[in-house]
Amino acid sequence: MKEVICQQQESQAVVMGCWILNESISVILALSWLGVNLYLFIDTFCWYREEESFFYTRVILGSTLAWARASAVCLNFNCMLILLPISRNLISFIRGASICCRGPWRRHLDKNLKFHKLVAYGIAVNATIHIVAHLCNLERYNLSQSAEAEGLRAALSTLGDTPNESYLNPIRTFHTNTTTELLTTVAGITGLLISLALILIMTSSTEFIRQISYELFWYTHHVFIIFFISLSIHGAGRMVRGQTPESLLLHNVTFCRDRYAEWQAAARCPAPQFSGKEPSAWKWVLGPVVLYACERVIRFWRFQQQVVITKVVSHPSGVLELHMKKRNFKMAPGQYVLIQCPSISSLEWHPFTLTSAPQEDFFSVHIRAAGDWTRAFCKAFAAEGPTRREPWSLPRLAVDGPFGATLTDVFHYPVSVCIAAGIGVTPFAALLKSIWYKCCESQTQLKLSKVYFYWICREPSAFEWFADLLLSLETRMSEQGKTHLLSYHIFLTGWDENQAIHIALHWDENTDVITGLKQKTFYGRPNWNNEFRQIAYSHPSGSIGVFFCGPKALSKTLQRMCRLYSSADPRGVHFYYNKESF
């Protein structure tokens, strides 16, 4: 029993070590982000707790002053970061131009959306703290004007009632309605707009909303424009005020705070003067906002460029294939583009992986009718009917990109494992086509020596368009004597009784009855433990890139397999997991 427990503990330690090895850069980045947030919060909190110029402000507000200001600084920091991960051209530039982002290191750029979500959670947490703290501040300002208020608090609240005095308490009378006061100030109005925008963005970003209505997610996400404009001018109201530097020289807080009754008369204790802190949020977000504005300018410029549709093909399972041409369009295998169809929506852009190879004189995408926009798109291109239209009569399209994605790193590993589920096979079409063309080029030397390709699909009809590509690839590699380069495994998970009888009758034929390939189709789901164990046995040392496009449940399984079968020995085999995401 003890031996079993020790083996389990050792196995868990190995898995943990492999996870740290695989995700070290992501972990360091996340911890750095968290560390900066904690530093900014604690440093700002302590400063407002101790700073002499805010002593009188703390008399009225107490510790909630520090809570409000510390969360505000962290909010500014995260708002500075939130736009960077979704700047697609910036990410593509770093991926292609940076010398330090090579091999397994570069795959962490594909986690940009995860970092975007992480920063969004940081904004939500700090915004909540900031709102709660200021609501408490508003109430304490109001209570300081009440009849029960006495001593220094009452004296500070009455400042500003006579000439040559500046106020500290923005609530001038106890009978002032705090809600009205909130809605008649710059800080109150912008704060309300920021809160509403943030609630809309966060609630519409949930996976449930994205699945049932991507359009709702898309439109509400653009409320970020109101969010950033309101954030930039939020501090202009200067609700929280502190003692001016000039007043600190004339009015010694330590000496004068107990002599508040003599402030008007005593020369040594003149009435303190206050002013609001200059707004700083715009300084934090100006750079990223300008950068993102440049992204939009580039998109608008690409929107104006003509896209010529050369071919439209309707495949089974509601898949539409589009061939297009665009001037000076250059791509790499695994990249994706954003497509807009103005006749459907003048604002929506949707990402689609390119399925053509760089060597072809066109670029193509495969689109499955899965949501409102894609169904309208397929209908506009007559993909649901028996008729075919000439390319010139089709709706106008705009294309932005291409942008770098996970699959562009396939050729950077000596061994790559490519796994697709359903329509998730589209990103691998360009990759396999590129391999086919490189096999034709005798002078091309590839670092990639082996590709394992897995495709899990529910319907036999879905194999039609992709099986032709695999067949041509199989034939070409056989002619070139490079059959060892590609090992493919196709799994069918759904079939009816008639299909099962047909499969059984033709089982002994040389080619597969469904795909027409020499490699037979497997029925059921793959045993990933066996598959990864065999790959690890065949390649006992070096780096293996695992690339996946498909549902989240299978992604978690594959990620666990990568950790489980990676060696803790740096000289052993290491599986690096990469998931396609937009």
Kindly tell me if the per-residue pLDDT of 104 is higher than 70. no
Q: What are the structure tokens assigned to 22, written together? A: 């695989």
Per-residue three-class SS string for 524-582: CCCCHHHHHHHHHHHCCCEEEEEEEECCHHHHHHHHHHHHHHCCCCCCCEEEEEEECCC
pLDDT confidence of residue 516? 55
pLDDT confidence of residue 70? 95
Top-confidence residue, 82 or 236: 82
Q: What are the structure tokens assigned to 315, written together? A: 């495949």
Kindly tell me if the per-residue pLDDT of 510 is higher than 70. no
Measured CA distances, 522 to 415, 462, 490 (Å): 23, 15, 6
Kindly tell me if the per-residue pLDDT of 72 is higher than 70. yes
pLDDT confidence of residue 263? 79
For residue range 402-450, list pLDDT tens digits in order.
887 777 778 788 888 988 887 777 778 788 878 777 766 656 666 778 8
Kindly tell me if the per-residue pLDDT of 2 is higher than 50. no
Top-confidence residue, 131 or 148: 131
pLDDT confidence of residue 393? 72
Top-confidence residue, 182 or 549: 549
Report for 168-172, 201-205, 552-556: range of highest mean pLDDT: 201-205
pLDDT confidence of residue 36? 96
Quick one: which H or E segment has residue 7? helix 2-50
Determine contact, residues 103/412, Cβ cutoff 8 Å.
Answer: yes
pLDDT confidence of residue 45? 95
pLDDT confidence of residue 7? 40
Q: What are the DSSP E strand ranges found in 393-441?
A: 398-403, 415-421
For residue range 471-489, list pLDDT tens digits in order.
777 777 677 666 677 787 8
Kindly tell me if the per-residue pLDDT of 99 is higher than 50. no
Kindly tell me if the per-residue pLDDT of 521 is higher than 90. no
pLDDT confidence of residue 331? 84
pLDDT confidence of residue 8? 42
